[in-house]
């Protein structure tokens, strides 16, 4: 027998840490390689940690709620055959090696490590430090390479001893060698705004619902998007009468032949993808001192379950037909609702199309899926009277397309042209000039 470590994996682009939301195994359980062992949430993705080996779980190092750096130890697993990569020659079994590792030795090793990661802060740490006015220069990180984690900040917040910024300390110790002008009375400083209270009165009959890791991750990402990205909003109205007639005429045969439904949403995604090819600026991201225009067109879509919201990605959507998009939407939705969606299937999105119309919405302002530059809300298709080109009234199927944009990356002109192209693509769909294959 040999003992191996299972470490916190990289769960997304620029993700540096993850929180153990729920253990899916217990000590003594036997798992196969790639079996999920824990549910983890981060700022960008909610996923499952797979087992790296086939064997028996012998120790859960992290507890539910713990936040771990990428590469930190999650648990130990006992496998059959071979020598353990972590077991020393002095130990006869992996179990003894685990039992003999003292906490003092771990702490000593941490203190002896260099701190090259000290000033590399994750978005969650930065946000938390800003909310509580914590000077990160005064914090000793317990993460790998001296990196500061959310656990470090939470410990400071709980203690109530928030370190003062260095600038304030320097001002207090600075000798009084200033001119007479410096000794003049100073104008009173405005008090700092108190942090928003988290205490809400709870009355009889009120229900307290704990915030799950998934809900917390969604809240954090939405807050980051609203705080950092200056949102603007615009909308166009589209006549999709021909699209409705065409889709309704082929949906039954399509379902019999392919085994899954041909939804309106697949047509909308295809129309958006074609417009993105013509206006690649829409497929961009803000990167501080530059804008990254992405080559691949990967469409993020929202899939809701009873308890969570997931945003899987249709990779290389520009290479797929309407049928291909419909199939992928169906497969991703099934995986999300059955809990089988993988972390890599929720990474790499460059533009989001949200099917808000499925809930009966006719107009909405979406929050941008950070760090993307825009999100398009597809609203309900509603039949109503419209003035035709000949001046007469006619019953038409109409839909609103609502676009939220990051005004650092995009402006009204390019977004207006993009929406006009999406509108044209949708209104030109018909039995004569459109194929789902």
Element housing 325 (H / E): helix 322-338
**Torsion over CA of 287, 46, 343 and 315, rounded to 10 degrees?**
-60
Nearest by Cα to 405 from 279, 238, 229: 229
Query: CA 346, 347, 348, 350 torsion: positive or negative?
Result: positive
CB 410 within 8 A of CB 281: yes
Q: Would you list the DSSP string of 98-151? A: HHT--HHHHHHHHHHS--TTTT---HHHHHHHHHTT--GGG----SGGG---HH
Query: CA 264, 270, 274, 277 torsion: positive or negative?
Result: positive
Distance CA 21, CA 34 (A): 18
Distance CA 291, CA 280 (A): 12
Q: Which residues, listed in sequence order, are joined to residue 238 by a DSSP beta bridge?
A: 399
Distance CA 63, CA 151 (A): 13
Q: Is 231 a catalytic residue?
A: no
Contacts of 9 (CB under 8 A, 6+ apart): 49, 50, 70, 343
**In the block, which residue shows the tokens 């993020």?**
300
CB 333 within 8 A of CB 281: no
Q: Which of 132, 133, 296, 407 is catalytic?
A: 407
* Coil vs helix vs strand at 83: coil
Nearest by Cα to 40 from 61, 58, 65: 65
CB 164 within 8 A of CB 189: no
Contacts of 399 (CB under 8 A, 6+ apart): 237, 238, 240, 357, 378, 379, 380, 381, 382, 426
Active site residues: 407, 411
């Amino acid at each position: 027998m040999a003992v191996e470590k299972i470490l916190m994996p990289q769960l997304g682009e620029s993700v540096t840490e993850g929180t153990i939301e729920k253990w899916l195994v217990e000590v003594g359980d036997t798992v196969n390689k790639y079996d999920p062992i824990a549910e983890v949430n981060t700022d960008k993705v909610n996923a499952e940690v797979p087992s790296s080996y086939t064997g028996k779980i012998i120790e859960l190092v992290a507890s539910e709620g713990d936040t771990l750096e990428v590469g930190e130890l999650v648990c130990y697993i006992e496998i059959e055959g071979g020598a353990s990569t972590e077991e020393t020659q002095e130990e006869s079994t992996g179990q003894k090696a685990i039992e003999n590792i003292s906490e003092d030795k771990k702490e000593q090793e941490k203190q002896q490590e260099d701190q090259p990661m000290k000033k590399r802060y994750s978005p969650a740490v930065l946000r938390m430090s800003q909310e509580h006015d914590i000077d990160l220069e005064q914090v000793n990180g317990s993460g790998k390479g001296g990196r500061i984690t959310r656990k470090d900040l939470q410990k400071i917040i709980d203690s109530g001893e928030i370190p003062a910024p260095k600038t304030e300390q320097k001002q207090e110790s600075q000798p009084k060698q200033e001119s007479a002008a410096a000794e003049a009375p100073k104008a009173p400083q405005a008090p700092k705004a108190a942090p928003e209270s988290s205490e809400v009165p709870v009355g009889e009959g009120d229900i307290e619902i704990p915030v799950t890791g998934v809900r917390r991750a969604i809240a954090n990402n939405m807050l980051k998007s609203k705080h950092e990205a200056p949102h603007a909003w615009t909308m166009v109205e589209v006549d999709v009468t021909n699209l409705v007639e065409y889709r309704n005429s082929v949906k039954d045969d399509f379902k019999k032949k392919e085994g899954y439904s041909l939804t309106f949403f697949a047509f909308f995604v295809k129309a958006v993808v074609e417009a993105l090819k013509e206006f690649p600026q829409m497929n961009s991201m803000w990167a501080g001192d530059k804008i990254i225009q992405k080559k691949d067109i990967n469409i993020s879509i929202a899939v809701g379950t009873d308890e969570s919201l997931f945003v899987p990605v249709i990779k290389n959507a520009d290479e797929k037909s309407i049928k291909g998009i419909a199939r992928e939407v169906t497969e991703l939705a099934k995986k999300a609702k059955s809990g089988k969606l993988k972390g890599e299937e929720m990474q790499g999105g460059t533009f989001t199309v949200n099917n808000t119309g499925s809930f009966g919405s006719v107009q909405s302002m979406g929050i941008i899926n950070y760090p993307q530059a825009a999100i398009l809300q597809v609203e309900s298709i509603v039949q109503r009277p419209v003035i035709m080109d000949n001046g007469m009234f006619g019953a038409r199927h109409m839909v609103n397309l609502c676009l939220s944009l990051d005004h650092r990356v995009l402006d009204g002109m390019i977004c207006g042209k993009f929406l006009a192209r999406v509108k044209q693509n949708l209104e030109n769909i018909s039995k004569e000039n459109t194929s789902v294959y």
